[in-house]
Structure 1
Amino acid sequence: MKGPGEADAASHPYYPVNAALPHYAANQTPLVKLLVTFAATIASVVVVTVVAARRAHTKMAFLDQLSVAWFALCGFLHCVFEGYFVWNHRRLAGMQTLFAQLWKEYALSDSRYLTSDPFMLCVESFTVVIWGPLCWAIVVALARGSHMRHPLQIVMCVGHLYGVVLYYSTSLAELYITGVSHSRSEFLYFWVYYVGFNAPWVVVPAT
């Protein structure tokens, strides 16, 4: 007869193996299709935003256009994708929508996104309510050629750096103190998802 930990371990692929996900349902859509659809969605948002900004500010410098693209990307991810997580965190593991399946895939590198972890809920809620709208405010400031873009960008860059530091430090502290890892050890999940997917929010703000 299986104990609780063994039952949980057999029911999902996440770490720690005894994480309670009784409503978990494996993804039904191939990963490639999920990624292509998501990438196309993001590309559409970014392209439309850059085109609109260029029409509003015909003499916009190339670097400013890149900034518009970056903050449009961040604004979409913060408000829509991360907002979806905050709204659906209790039932995310059992859902089969595009965003839910993407979150379940990413959660192989950090299962806190499927267990209603208090830290993740707090930091992501703040991101949705504060950082997301601020990113769009920066896009508007850039499109209008407003000097307000400079202080807003500084605040947002510091916010992104601070968020990444908190994200990694809480996970590493838990691993060091309790020995609990929320990430699978495979190269794809740890180095590509956990490290690689978050790296731009360190590299871009720091440049």
Structure 2
Amino acid sequence: LVHCALEGSFVYLSFMGNIADSDSFIASLWKEYGKADARWVNFDPTIVSVEILTVVLDGCLALVLMYAIVKEKYYRHFIQITLCVCELYGGWMTFSPEWLMGSPNLNTNNWLYFWVYLVFFNSVWVLIPGLLLWQSWVELKKMYPKGTSLGKKFQ
């Protein structure tokens, strides 16, 4: 839902003009976050590219995952792992280029913008996929019968 509603609106607003010039409620949320990371207010091709992929691919994977969880489908953990890896990769590609350039667009001097907007809000996108990856690891481990090995199967 976050991908489709918030990030989808970010992509839409980015293509319809500059978020800084928009007066919509959603634009005001992005303007506020833009106080911590200026790339979200002005058209940054890296951010918009990552968000297009996030909205389309991750949004679709999230819908498929919700269905797989509710209907207890066999492919649930495959989708969950794929989505989590996409989330972690998206976060890395959002911040790694910025860090390599010395973080010129990040407001690291203001406590609220740095610790709440940048660290806390973005760590959620690392913590939750990390926990879901761990959950999938545990569930997949349970499915593997103990005491079996490839060598025993061929003897």
1:187 aligns with 2:114: no
Encode CA deviations 1:66-111: one digit per residue, 9 max, x unaligned: xxxxxxxxxx111121111111112311222221100000011111
1:144 aligns with 2:85: no
3-state DSSP of counterpart to 1:164: helix
1:175 aligns with 2:102: yes
3-state DSSP of counterpart to 1:175: coil
Aligned counterpart, 1:196: 120
Encode CA deviations 1:138-185: one digit per residue, 9 max, x unaligned: 001111111111100000111111111222211111216xxx233252
Distance across 2 between alignment mates of 1:181 and 1:97 = 23
Distance across 2 between alignment mates of 1:160 and 1:116 = 21
1:96 aligns with 2:20: no
Relative to total residues, which structure has the larger helix share, 1 or 2?
A: 2
Identity score, percent: 36
TM-score by length of 1: 0.59
Runs of 5+ in structure 1 lacking a partner? 1-75
CA contact (8 A) 1:112 1:120 kept: yes
* RMSD of aligned Cα (Å): 1.4
Cα pair distance change 1:104/1:86, threshold 3 Å: same
Q: Which runs of 4+ in 1 moved over 2 A?
A: 180-184
TM-score by length of 2: 0.78
Residue 3 of structure 2 aligns to which amino acid in structure 1? H
Distance across 2 between alignment mates of 1:148 and 1:161 = 20
Runs of 5+ in structure 2 lacking a partner? 132-155
Distance across 1 between alignment mates of 2:107 and 2:45 = 17
Greater shift, 192-201 or 84-93, is seen at: 84-93
Correspondence for 1:127 among 54, 69, 91: 54
Q: How many equivalent pairs are there?
A: 129
1:160 aligns with 2:82: no
Residue 102 of structure 2 aligns to which amino acid in structure 1? L
Aligned counterpart, 1:8: none
CA contact (8 A) 2:11 2:48 kept: yes
Aligned counterpart, 2:134: none
